[in-house]
Amino acid sequence: MNSTKKTYGYVIIVVVLVGLCLSGFSGKAHAGIIPYSVIGPHEFQLPVGDDIPKNGLPILLSYNTYREEGKAWDGESGTRSLFANINKFAYVFKFDAAPKVGFLWEGLAGFASATGKDNRSVTGMIDPQTGLLAWIKPTKNWVTGLEYWMYLPVGDNELSGHSWNHSFAFVNNYVLGNFTFDGDVGYKIMGDYKNAGVHTEQGDVFFANLVFTYKLMKNIEPFVKYDYQDSGSGKDMATGVNTSGNSEMAWGVGNHFSLTDKLSADLWYEQGFTGRNTTKTNAGYFKVCYVF
């Protein structure tokens, strides 16, 4: 049972931070967070079979990020800074009919506070999300799965994306000795943006994320990560004029802490190194996971 708890203690399930649509601030460059940029070490190191309790496994997670949004790759940024706190409840379970497949339902809610270039700030609830993840373990070292998220546009007006969106991601984890790899490749289907008389067709988003971790000893587990997104162009439905897409690639460094068998945390800094028509990533992240 101790080994089972140890495995669970390392599990930190993914959340997709929404690309916050800061509709209250004007600017030439889009503001947003790269999808899945919050994934950290052991993100997809998930249990299967007998490692999942009969009554399931509840998990509580808190994701926090502070971002300097004042600089952009092209054009101007209408935002000075952004703080977001996102909390998620996840529930791992299995079906007797498919004992070698693991499942996870997840629900997310949170708030954000953004400050514009004019020092005007907005604070409120971001769009909630709900999703499902299913995975298998082809070998003792490899986990692979598929994750789905639905974005519900019911957050506060100036922080909501004002569109029904859906994302799909192919996720993987591989462990070799003290080395751990986590990664995903995904596609986000963007619904039409509708708010205050504005109707815009939004371009879909391709994204990919990689995390490479090496464990030196307990609580000294440094990692490096890479995040990428490319958003397609859209269209103003009133005028028929095309709107530009955007892209960014960022990298980060940090450390994973295995505090107890049930509690773990990640701390890292991330910076964009190439991009187009979006704000430059300059952010700190702190994530906590507690397994009941």
- pLDDT tens by residue, 224-243: 999 999 999 999 999 999 99
Percentage of the chain with pLDDT > 70?
Answer: 89
Q: Region 193-211: what's the mean pLDDT?
A: 96
pLDDT at 29: 52
Q: Look up residue 137 and give its two tokens.
A: 């373990």
Residue 15 pLDDT > 90: no
CA dihedral defined by 45, 16, 208, 222, rounded to 10 degrees?
-50
Residue 215 Cα distances to 1, 156, 170, 218, 223, angstroms: 23, 41, 25, 7, 9
Residue 292 CB coordination number (10 Å): 10
**Residue range 2-291 in CATH 2.40.160.40:** yes
Task: Give CA–CA dist 241/71, Å, rounded.
Answer: 26
In tens, the pLDDT along 144-199 reads 999 999 999 999 999 999 999 999 999 999 999 999 999 999 999 999 999 999 99
Residue 4 pLDDT > 70: no
Hey, is 6 helix, strand or coil?
Answer: helix
Residue 98 Cα distances to 75, 93, 172, 228, angstroms: 52, 11, 20, 34
Task: Give CA–CA dist 78/22, Å, rounded.
Answer: 9
Q: How many H-runs (helices) and E-runs (strands) does the chain carry?
A: 1, 17
Task: Give CA–CA dist 187/205, Å, rounded.
Answer: 6
> Quick check: 268 and 223 in contact, CB under 8 A?
yes
| Every domain of the chain and the residues it spans | 2-291
